Amino acid sequence: MKFFFFLCFLVPLTGFSQSEKNHNPVPTKSQLAWHQMEFYLFAHFGPNTFTDKEWGEGTEPEDIFNPTHLDCRQWCRVAKAAGAKGIIVTAKHHDGFCLWPSKYSTHTVRESKWKNGKGDVLKELSQACKEYGLKFGVYISPWDRNHPKYGTPAYNEVFIKMMKEIFTRYGPIWELWWDGANGEGPNGKKQVYDWDRFKRTIKAISPNTVIFSDVGPHIRWVGNENGIAGETNWNLLDTTGFTPGAGAPPADTLNRGNVNGKNWIPAECDVSIRPGWFYHKEEDEKVKTPEQLFQLWLRSVGRGANLLLNVPPDRRGRINEKDSAALLGFKNLRDANFKDNFSLTAKKEFHYDGIIYKQNEFADGNPKTFQNPLDYSRADFWIKFDPVKRINCIVLKEVIDKGQQVKQATLYLLKGADAVKEIPLTTIGHKRIITFPAEDISAIRFVIKDAKGTAMISEIETYLVNENLIEK
Ligand code: FUL
């Protein structure tokens, strides 16, 4: 009897992964660390900031670039205050202008009057990020409308040299962002990018950098520029036969991933706080509101993706007051609405084959501890409230170190013996936020209906967020 009880007790706790049978990719250490980042800023900055264009021609005189009060420490202060974990800057956009004095171009900050040609945005920003404890990332556009070698095999060499220069001078680089755009250069030709060589170069010089492109190798584009991930969002993607840019899989596939994808390549949602990517004064009144940013959070981070929010510095070289106000408002909304996780003080029960275990690792506020039922069809997770609680938001978390497992699940909301609401869902991943019109309930029963292997549920959090913030 004792032995039987011992077994029953152990079984639900020691599920071995069925993914050993079905191949299920797992994230690397760098990718796992990336998932923890959740939210960081994008900074589109360059000649376009001063010409009011979105795509420069590459023929703009270098003197156009002339920020009056560049202050990268201010960018970092704003990012920090907003709860963002890093900044990715457009080291080189499609116009080819380099925000650092590159040896491999004559279209750089060095050729401008700014700081008498002695300025270096990458230097200032990389140092400021270190000072403020933020991760530093670079966007480097392979498409270059200025470089005389673009459109010839020699340009691939130039691109590689530029990357090496950036990594050596300003590293460590946490994320490298490759834009897939492939337009014509000054000689009217398009470049044939040597993606394999580009990848090998970075792997050799900076193996911990996570590389973003439409198809990874480490992080994928989410398939739109609205900041919205699929409600079903697999961190997996099949990439055979695909390339970044025009050769990428359909947007829908990028948006949801592939359930049985061969590679761990999670989605990143890039979106701008303004209509454009670069700063334009006439968009000062079109900055997204804190409430809109909160909605984006729900649809990106709340669907297991990361949010890369573009906040373009203005012509002074500072994050504009309108944008910083919106960012701080957004931070306050997150803090205020996710402050009180009712699950922490509720009664938790884990049921396996109808036997009740008073285990609470699935709702103890510690994302490292979890419940991993060997056979999900025999397990129920319960959170009980006495007296009833009014809630409209549930946050689910899966430990993904050993792969993403949950395919389908249901949340049952109960009041006494009555079922108040049944909420079906698909994937969970790093984080899944579910919102619904508020209900007074006495219990939540969470059941996994289908999984690829042994799911590790680390948190089921419950909140009452401001009604005006959630989808009706
Ligand atoms: C796109 C670019 O063409 C836009 O200008 C912007 O940089 C966006 C993030 O990526 O591909």
- The answer on 362 and 287 residing in a single domain is no
Whether residue 7 lies inside any domain: the answer is no
Given the CA of residue 141, which atom of ligand 1 is nearest to it?
7
**Does the Cβ of 277 fall within 6 Å of ligand 1?**
yes
- The answer on 348 and 327 residing in a single domain is no
Q: Which of 178, 179, 269 to mutate to test the pocket of ligand 1 (most atoms within 8 A of CB)?
A: 179
pLDDT score, position 22: 56
pLDDT score, position 397: 98
Given the CA of residue 310, which atom of ligand 1 is nearest to it?
9
- The answer on 241 and 296 residing in a single domain is yes
Whether residue 6 lies inside any domain: the answer is no
Alpha-carbon distance values, 271 to 64, 187, 297, 306, 312 (Å): 26, 32, 11, 11, 11
Q: How far is the CA of 71 from the centre of ligand 1 (A)?
A: 24
- What residue numbers bound the domain in which 448 lies? 340-469
**Does the Cβ of 179 fall within 6 Å of ligand 1?**
yes
**Does the Cβ of 181 fall within 6 Å of ligand 1?**
yes
- Between CA 343 and CA 365 the distance in angstroms is 9
Q: At what angle do helices 153-170 and 121-132 cross, to 10 degrees?
A: 40
- Model-level pTM? 0.95
CATH number of the domain residue 194 falls in: 3.20.20.80
Nearest to 194 by CA among 251, 240, 152: 152
pLDDT score, position 345: 97
Q: Are strands 263-264 and 267-272 parallel, antiparallel or unpaired?
A: unpaired
Mean pLDDT by 10 residues, the chain (472 residues): 35 42 85 98 98 98 98 98 98 98 98 98 98 98 98 98 98 97 95 97 98 98 98 98 95 98 98 98 98 98 98 98 98 98 98 94 96 96 98 98 98 95 98 98 98 97 96 64
Number of structural domains in the chain: 2
Q: How far is the CA of 179 from the centre of ligand 1 (A)?
A: 7
Whether residue 347 lies inside any domain: the answer is yes
pLDDT score, position 470: 86
User: Atom 6, ligand 1: which residue's CA is nearest?
Assistant: 277
Q: Which of 182, 184, 225, 279 to mutate to test the pocket of ligand 1 (most atoms within 8 A of CB)?
A: 225
